[in-house]
Structure 1
Amino acid sequence: MRLLVMNPNTTASMTAAIRVTATAAAAPGTEIIAAQPRWGPESIEGHFEGYLSAAAVLDRLATFDTPFDALVMAGFGEPGREGAQELLDVPVLDITESAAQMAMMLGHAYGIVTTLDRAVPQIRDRLLTAGLLQRCAAVRGTGLGVLELEEDPERTVEVIIETAREVVRAGAEVICLGCGGMAGLQERVAVALGIPVVDGVAAAVKFAEAVVGLGLTTSAGRSFAPPRPKVIGSWPLSTHLRPSPGRAQNTPRPAAFSAQTSGI
């Protein structure tokens, strides 16, 4: 089994950290490929950068030239997953819903610790859309920017633990780390708190393995039906950024949706 784990930003060090966490969570025989968009923001801290990233991720997927059995999208609370579900013929999981779903298996209420406070409404909206907000006790920001997470790892862990304690006081029995850049910190936070801490990357990898193992994939019956063939000017952009792009063996889902029928 081969899983593609997609970092939604263009920071290579974060992609590497996500790869380490995904590989540690994967079962023997599961191969992890970690990738990032060819263009887009270096970090995502708001709706503007989120939508830019969503387009960049879809662009990367449309030109990805290595086959994979499932996709894990490693952006917390960010848009684009539904587009990937339409585009790909393999299961697509994101770390937001995967973390929350796993947390609800472990306790009555869960909470999320994320980066900046401005990310909180975006995450809550995502949980509401997914039907997962009812059992969320609280979402709190640490005040750390995404790129700041890597600057001082010890300070990052301290701030996450301090913020997580606030979330526990709000009623959470399980904590979710609300940023792909926090990958790998769950064990230290769990020891400090004495309750389960879920890393979304690890949770999504395990769910992806289960879905693929059961032979299941996204339903194309209605909501996530393949994109209709139409002209999309200058897309995918990555085609113009490298000399010899390869078409993804996983995409597009319908044979009719191609560079030719899309007018590219």
Structure 2
Amino acid sequence: MRIVVTNCNTTRSMTEEIVRGARDAASTGTTVTGLTPAWGVESAEGWLDSHLSAAAVLDALRAYDASGEPYDAVVMAGFGEHGREGARELLDVPVVDITEAAAHLACLLGRRYGVVTTLDRARGQIEDSLHAAGVARNCAAVVGTGLGVLDLGDEERTVRAFLAAGARARDAGAEVLVLGCAGMTGLQRAVGEKLGMPVVDGVGAAVRLAESLVGLGLTTSRVGGYAKPLPKGRTWGTGCGRPPSE
């Protein structure tokens, strides 16, 4: 099975970190390829960034699909970012968004979950994404750590900030926590035991759900909202995302 994991920003080091987390979660026999948009934003932190990111990711996916490289599913590794609905229209394979995947798995582990994310400004996008996915009712809180996406490389500082934010989410009624940024992939191992709660990594959750959909022979419905795009003139950019170096 071949899964393409698409970063939502142009920071290749983050793509590589996400791919490592995806490969750790993948089953034996699943190959994971990372895709970095050729243009867009170095980190998605706000509405403008998110919409730019969505266009860039769709452009990268369109170009990758047209390249003829075989693949079975796509994981969109942007927490709360736009674009998943467009990708589902565009592609003929299952498209799994890490926000939606993490929330669905969290709902299987507790009655209410909390999302711990980066900056508070991301909360609105995440809440909207959860509402669109139909899982917002079970969300007790979306809590920011005060760290920017590009600050997450400092593991000690990130763990400290996550533990503080996770405690606030727990106090708000969360029984399960979700990592609210693809750049947090792998952090669940460092914080889950300290908080005494299950912590769901969206990248790993999305990879496993993508494998399940492919294994069951299921893909996006073409009845209604996700029907193939209407034939018409569309002007695209020329950029194609590239896999990170092995």
Bigger CA radius of gyration: 1
Deviations 1:13-52 (A, max 9, x none): 1101100100000000000001110111000001101011
Is 2:6–2:76's contact at 8 Å kept on the other side of the alignment?
Answer: yes
Q: For structure 1, which runs of at least 5 residues remain unmatched after alignment? A: 243-264
The one-letter code matched in structure 2 to 1:237 is T
Deviations 1:161-199 (A, max 9, x none): 111011001110000000000011111110110110000
Structural mapping, 1:48-127, within 5 Å: 48-64=48-64, 65=67, 66-127=69-130
Is 2:37–2:239's contact at 8 Å kept on the other side of the alignment?
Answer: no
TM-score of the pair, normalised by structure 1: 0.88
CA distance in 2, matches of 1:78, 1:8: 8
Q: Give the aligned partner of residue 182 of structure 2.
A: 180
Q: Could you tell me how far 1:67 is from its partner in structure 2?
A: 1.8
Structural mapping, 1:1-264, within 5 Å: 1-64=1-64, 65=67, 66-150=69-153, 152-233=154-235, 235-238=236-239
Q: Give the aligned partner of residue 259 of structure 1.
A: none
Question: What percent of counterpart residues are identical?
Answer: 57
TM-score of the pair, normalised by structure 2: 0.95
Q: Could you tell me how far 1:229 is from its partner in structure 2?
A: 1.3
Is 2:102–2:200's contact at 8 Å kept on the other side of the alignment?
Answer: yes
Q: Could you tell me how far 1:134 is from its partner in structure 2?
A: 0.7
Q: Equivalent residue of 2:158, what SS?
A: helix
Deviations 1:191-217 (A, max 9, x none): 110110000000000000000000000
Which is helix-richer, 1 or 2? 2
Q: For structure 2, which runs of at least 5 residues remain unmatched after alignment? A: none
Aligned pair count reads 239
CA distance in 1, matches of 2:108, 2:52: 33
User: Which shows bigger deviation, 69-78 or 123-132?
Assistant: 123-132
CA RMSD of aligned residues (A): 1.3
The one-letter code matched in structure 2 to 1:5 is V
